[in-house]
Amino acid sequence: MSQRSTASPDTCPSQKVPTAAPRPTVDENAVPTPPPLARIHPSPLTQACAATREAYDGSSLTFRLLRACGWGAFLNLGFFRAVDWILRPFRLDVAQERLAKRSIELLAIKGARDCVDVACGRGRSSFRIAMGNPSANVEAIDFLPDNVSAAQFLYGNTRNLHYRQGSAESLPFATESQDRVHCLEAAFHFDRAAFLREAYRILRPGGLLVVVDFNFKTEDSRAVLSSPEGEIVRDIWRFEDFWTTDQYREEATYLGFQAVEEHDWTEQVTAAIQRRFSFICWAGNKKPLRRVMTLCNPLLAGFTPGDWQTLRTHAAALDTVRHELRYVALVLRKLA
């Protein structure tokens, strides 16, 4: 992929308002044109947002392999157990469902009236929140129109769940109107500081924000993104940078959040899926093993020997960057 962007599946760079031009002469006999319904008809994707879209639309070879290995309705990496490799070698969707469940549990949503799921993707996590908490009103936003349309088609008839297109950097909700905000594995695509400010604004005092994201281990870890391996990874997943956990804490404290919980899921998420991904890419380059894998999973027959060579390069690059990262779930409370 030749271009990268910090834009998220749920955000788009803002546009400057042009200087007003001289008012044209009005034809009194002309039929007036109604004003555009901006909230109803989303504006076209900008080039930057389209680049982010490509990280998830199947144009990436890595993404296609994950899909072939069972990536389901979620767009997260999954939370793995040791037995998954034996019992479910090509069922990544089970691990993805488990990760969403753990993330949602951190919301402690019982008794909350209003919840927002930011960067909801194709809507499965929002559906879990709504169905598990029928007394709560759940609003789900994503930047990409394709994601919103898919979510509405699959889950749009859920009584207490509403999907809309929206930006994580400018959340379309009133100040102090929400009790919970949830963002699972998406903040690395957009401006985290802007998102935290917006989350703080819309939360009622005492409300919780759960954000699950990739964090650099230290400031020095950032150097990996300038390496050839870092360039490959940024091209695959369309992002510019990560924060350290300290950056998250500092920004949250500055805004008025209190860090309530912090969970390091590195071993169960990024390390676990990397081991599986690296093994599959290695085996795919060994003809006898490739035949065995294809017998177990016929979808792998769609990958050529050249694809497997590229995937092995991708796996090595991802592993290099992964060693500089933590996978962290933060629970932040807005102080009264």
- Each residue's pLDDT tens digit, 124-170: 999 999 999 999 999 999 998 999 999 999 999 999 999 999 999 99
CB 257 within 8 A of CB 335: yes
- The pLDDT score that the predictor gives to residue 74 is 85
Question: Which domain range does residue 229 map to?
Answer: 68-268+321-334
In a domain, 11, yes or no: no
- The pLDDT score that the predictor gives to residue 240 is 87
- The pLDDT score that the predictor gives to residue 110 is 87
Instruction: Give Cβ neighbours of residue 90 (< 8 Å, ≥ 6 apart).
Output: 68, 69, 70, 296, 297
Structure confidence by residue, pLDDT tens digits, 249-287: 999 999 999 999 999 999 999 999 999 999 999 999 999
- The pLDDT score that the predictor gives to residue 58 is 66
In a domain, 178, yes or no: yes
In a domain, 21, yes or no: no
Give me the chain's average pLDDT, please: 86
Which has more confidence, 33 or 158? Answer: 158
The pLDDT confidence band at residue 14, using thresholds 50, 70 and 90, is very low
In a domain, 279, yes or no: no
In a domain, 200, yes or no: yes
Contacts 24+ apart (CB under 8 A), 172-175: 172/39, 172/141, 173/116, 173/139, 173/202, 174/202, 175/201, 175/202
Check which CATH number belongs to the domain holding 329 and give it. Answer: 3.40.50.150
In a domain, 63, yes or no: no
In a domain, 256, yes or no: yes
In a domain, 31, yes or no: no
* Number of domains making up the chain: 1
